Amino acid sequence: MSRTPALFIAHGNPMFAIVDSEYTRAWREVGKSLSPTAIVCISAHWLTRGVRIMANEVPRIIYDFGGFPDELYQVQYPAKGSPALARKLNALLPGSTLDESWGLDHGSWAVLKRMFPDADVPVIQLSLDVNLNAKAHYELAKALKPLRDEGVLILGSGNIVHNLRMADFTNRTPVYNWANEFDSVAKDAILQHDHEKLISYELLGQAAHLSVPTPDHYWPLLYTLAVQDSEDAVTFPTEGMDLSSISMRSVRLG
């Protein structure tokens, strides 16, 4: 079996689950190019104390947002879970805990509904431990790399630039200079395989602080980069900015 690519998908606004856009069309094309046996999703929206692994046989859909049209709360994504893969992940990550209290949050289903609309690929989620710093997240994620050789898609879901307080939901404000600056710095570091720069993003100045006011949407990028192989081609299935302060840069490795 050839090594399965790894992805970081900029999931952006939950409305992308029901509204057609250049981003959702690109997600669909990525999905068509892949045939994973299962998916491990690291979503910005599952934050825990300690590392937890979703072990549900049939995960529920979580509508972890508010103030959106009723149509969005009717979306279903009936993918199965994979308790067997959850147990394997549990063995790879000492100290982790199997968890059946969670399900698929919108960092997962809103993207996967576009990528794999038939919901025919088993999905589990891996939580983000808030007790860990960026370096610790990256080091932990290295344990996931062997799964790529077993047909498993490692999928980080977040946004490199994610400042909701500065977002313009009318999309009339020009993209902030600091958002473009940090997105460009991240792009160059990804192309140069400079993971240390991306791990130590807090040292990259004011643009980094404005772009990553909280690390939850940034950490999933590190999980994708941690499983990179030196031979992986690097491409960006989506680029651009949404709402003036949300980067829609996605990353494909392999």
> Residues 6 or more apart from 74 whose CB is under 8 A from it?
none
* Dihedrals phi, psi of 21, to nearest 5 degrees: -160, 170
The pLDDT assigned to 170 comes to: 84
**What is the mean pLDDT, run by run of 10 residues, along the chain of 254 residues?**
93 95 98 98 98 97 94 96 98 97 97 98 98 98 98 98 93 93 98 98 98 98 97 97 97 98
The pLDDT assigned to 132 comes to: 98
**CB distance 144 to 40 below 8 Å:** yes
Give the pTM: 0.97
The pLDDT assigned to 221 comes to: 99
How far is the CA of 123 from the CAs of 7, 85, 209, in angstroms?
14, 9, 33
**CB distance 156 to 223 below 8 Å:** yes
The pLDDT assigned to 183 comes to: 98
- CATH fold label, 6-253: Protocatechuate 4,5-dioxygenase; Chain B (3.40.830)
The pLDDT assigned to 171 comes to: 79
Domain range summary for the chain, segments of one domain joined by +: 6-253
The pLDDT assigned to 161 comes to: 98
The pLDDT assigned to 134 comes to: 98
